[in-house]
Amino acid sequence: MENKGLQKNLGMAAALSTVVGMVIGGGVFFKPQAVYSATGGAPGLGILAWVLAGIMTITAGLTAAEVSAAIPKTGGMMTYISEIYGKKLGFLTGWMQTVLFFPATIAALAVIFAEQATGLMGNPALKLPLAVGIILLVAALNTLGSKTGGAIQTVSTVCKLIPLVLIMVFGFIKGSGQNEILTPLVGEGISIGGVLGQLLIAVLFAYDGWINVGALAGEMKNPGKDLPKAIVGGLSLVMAVYLTINLAYLWVAPAHELASVAAPAALVAEKIFGPVGGKIITVGILISVFGALNGYILTGPRIAYTLASQKTLPGYNFLSKLNNAQSPANATIAMAILSALYALSGQFNLLTDLSIFAIWIFYVLTFIGVIKLRKDQPNLHRPYKVPLYPVIPMIAILSGLFVIVNQLFLAGMQTTMISVGGLVITAIGLPVYNYMSNKNGLETKSNKVA
């Protein structure tokens, strides 16, 4: 369904704020632990990773936005890949998002939320029950309709800025500034090449959400001019915030100390504001994570609902039903149950690594799709074209391939096993698609982009 009815009333300021709001989530508060653990407690390469991941994200956003503008249809990346490569690969994209990316990300956010909440309550034993409970609660709220989910999103977006700003401002005022920031790059005995991909996977979780930026094209007054500005401006602002807050963390606490705690932001807040102030900041962080969790539970089930509506997902009769609030309630509850099962692992970093590795495979296919569409359909209407073509798409492609290859072959046995697990779960979608297509007599050829 094309977005012909969308009103073109988004200006530069609205687009910029939307970019920032979609990307900043919970990762910036918790990922420094994984980053500085990987570097052996050294700060330099960790700070560099935040810059490199930001540049990767900007090139990715600029590239994917061309596809979004050229294929103004609902469904996001699943639709783009289906139109460019065929329905089977499009289904595989949606399958990966339904059974892996969204559930693993939801589970990761629930686990870190529960870890922080039980820390405040002084009862760590409640971590897994609370993680499962928060997933089911947010899912139940989202079955009341998109208006409820949207209201939660608005409140949490405002609240998440408060701990960010307070830590950035008072970190520099109250911190000693005597800790190392740029040196050493890594700890003794650690290879820069071996650990860089692992760092990028960790940091890219904090930058994730940029793929939604291109969806703004259909509602912008002048996408050709304003969309690249919104992407570069918005993501550069996010990168500046991430860099600043990480410098503020290091201004207050050394990298090896940040590596030793699950919530570096809470540790820094306690050092700045004392135990009571630290707990207040932690509550603000919890609201931010709750909002990010809500965002994924709001959007993820709509992918499952779309696949079910196409009769390609097992249980499609159940999953494609809307409730009285016109919400995909069955798909929401099904995804919540799957997410809760992932959450039982209790592993925040493992879950985020799994989801980010899987999604970046399809991001790279999207970047390649820009070049393929230019070649196959040179006359296709493109309201926006990626600047400096083909340089920026090639940077995005090579960056993504580096992360994928590094995770599979260079980052150690545990990381390789996580990555292979993601590939296996994704590949299961192929026999599922073939079975459902044969069962329902579905057309498997892709329609050309209109």
The pLDDT value recorded for residue 118 is 93
Average pLDDT of span 429-443: 86
446 within a domain of the structure (yes/no):
no
Rounded to an integer, what distance in angstroms lies between the CA atom of residue 251 and that of residue 388?
A: 38
The alpha-helical segments, DSSP class H, found in 39-86 are 44-70, 77-85
369 within a domain of the structure (yes/no):
yes
More confident residue, 367 or 68: 367
CB 98 within 8 A of CB 305: no
More confident residue, 1 or 383: 383
End-to-end CA distance of the chain: 11
Percent of the chain with pLDDT over 70: 93
Rounded to an integer, what distance in angstroms lies between the CA atom of residue 130 and that of residue 367?
A: 39
* Domain carrying residue 246: 12-440
Quote the number of domains for the chain. 1
**How far out from the chain centre does Cα 85 lie?**
23
The pLDDT value recorded for residue 341 is 97
Q: CA dist 399 to 87, 136, 166, 201, 404, Å? A: 26, 36, 33, 11, 9
The pLDDT value recorded for residue 75 is 73
What's the chain's Rg over C-alpha atoms?
21
Tens-place pLDDT, residues 338-381: 999 999 999 999 999 999 999 999 999 999 999 999 999 999 98
The pLDDT value recorded for residue 291 is 84
The pLDDT value recorded for residue 142 is 85
127 within a domain of the structure (yes/no):
yes
The string of DSSP letters for 356-385 reads HHHHHHHHHHHHHHHHHHHHH-TTS--SS-
6 within a domain of the structure (yes/no):
no
The pLDDT value recorded for residue 450 is 44
The pLDDT value recorded for residue 3 is 42
Average pLDDT of span 401-420: 85
Question: Which region holds residue 81: left if phi is over 0, alpha if psi is between -120 and 50, else beta?
Answer: alpha
83 within a domain of the structure (yes/no):
yes
Tens-place pLDDT, residues 255-300: 999 999 988 998 999 999 999 888 888 888 888 888 888 888 888 8
- CATH code, 406: 1.20.1740.10
The pLDDT value recorded for residue 217 is 65
The pLDDT value recorded for residue 253 is 95
Rounded to an integer, what distance in angstroms lies between the CA atom of residue 103 and that of residue 107?
A: 6
Task: Write out the two tokens for 71.
Answer: 């294929």
Residue 8 has pLDDT above 50, yes or no: yes
Task: Write out the two tokens for 118.
Answer: 């039980």
More confident residue, 47 or 383: 47
The pLDDT value recorded for residue 206 is 93
In this structure, is the dihedral angle defined by the CA atoms of residues 308, 310, 311 and 312, taken in order, positive or negative?
negative
Average pLDDT of span 140-158: 75
In single-letter form, the type of residue at position 63 comes to T
The pLDDT value recorded for residue 9 is 64
Q: Which of 70-74, 353-357, 407-411 has the highest mean pLDDT?
A: 353-357
pLDDT band with cut points at 50, 70 and 90 for residue 74:
low
The pLDDT value recorded for residue 272 is 94
**Residue among 310, 345, 318, 322 nearest 334 (CA):** 318
Average pLDDT of span 227-253: 91
431 within a domain of the structure (yes/no):
yes
246 within a domain of the structure (yes/no):
yes
1 within a domain of the structure (yes/no):
no
Q: Of the given ranges (146-160, 189-203, 284-298, 312-326), which has the lowest mean pLDDT?
A: 146-160
- Classified as helix, coil or strand, 9 is coil
Average pLDDT of span 213-232: 74
The pLDDT value recorded for residue 150 is 67
Is pTM, for the whole model, over 0.85?
Answer: yes
Rounded to an integer, what distance in angstroms lies between the CA atom of residue 384 and that of residue 231?
A: 12
pLDDT band with cut points at 50, 70 and 90 for residue 312:
very high
Residue 35 has pLDDT above 70, yes or no: yes
**How far out from the chain centre does Cα 433 lie?**
25
Average pLDDT along the chain? 88
